[in-house]
Amino acid sequence: MVIEPEPIEAGPYTIRWWETGDADLLAEAVTLSSAHLRPWMPWFDSEPLTVEQRGELITYWRNIARSGGDEHFGVFEQARVVGAVGLHRRVDPDGVEIGYWTHVRHVRRGVATAAARALASYAFRDAALRYVEIHHDEANHLSARIPRRLGFTLCGTYEAPRCAEGQSGRECVWRVTRSEWRGGCF
């Protein structure tokens, strides 16, 4: 069983597991950001969710995380949701993938960069982990800026199903190894 981590401070942002009491804040952030996120996020097919459904989803995420699965974090500035970041165990046992999105009102303010940096450092606390990856659709130029800024290396691109309306069908894979990671600083 995984114990819920302490909140992570990343500049002005606090990164922590979502709590069921955040359901209304998350619902509002997703709703306001729908036009910005829908082109890239396949999970938008199930939107909109009610606040109650979102609370159930958060409970599900917390249970999965406690059992050693994916971890879903909210990114907060004071009491406002400014984005989300996740640690996904969908690559292989030696690595994890970081995913992120930013509230439309906070785009280009460093939210995703700070959150991905903090989560990569958090991930590397696991001594068995050899690398962290970030995947994004080739057409999503805003997402491409994050791994580049943090010193990840573009490993390549591959054909992928188009699961959201803005996707090109080409997925970029960026990677940083434990030995390369310097906290996103150069």
Domains and CATH numbers, the chain: 8-177 (3.40.630.30)
pLDDT for res 13? 98
- Our measurement of the distance from residue 41's CA atom to the centroid of its chain's CA atoms, rounded to an integer in Å, reads 11
pLDDT for res 48? 92
pLDDT for res 162? 85
Q: What is the mean pLDDT of the chain?
A: 95
The model carries a pTM of 0.94
Alpha helices per DSSP H over 67-169: 111-123, 141-149
pLDDT at 62 over 90: yes
In a 3-state reduction of DSSP, which class is residue 146? helix
Alpha helices per DSSP H over the chain: 23-32, 34-37, 51-66, 111-123, 141-149
**13, 115 Cβ separation under 8 angstroms:** yes
Decide: residue 15, CB within 10 A, 0-12 exposed, 13-18 middle, 19+ buried.
buried
Window from 56-60, 70-74, 156-160, 165-169 with minimum mean pLDDT:
165-169
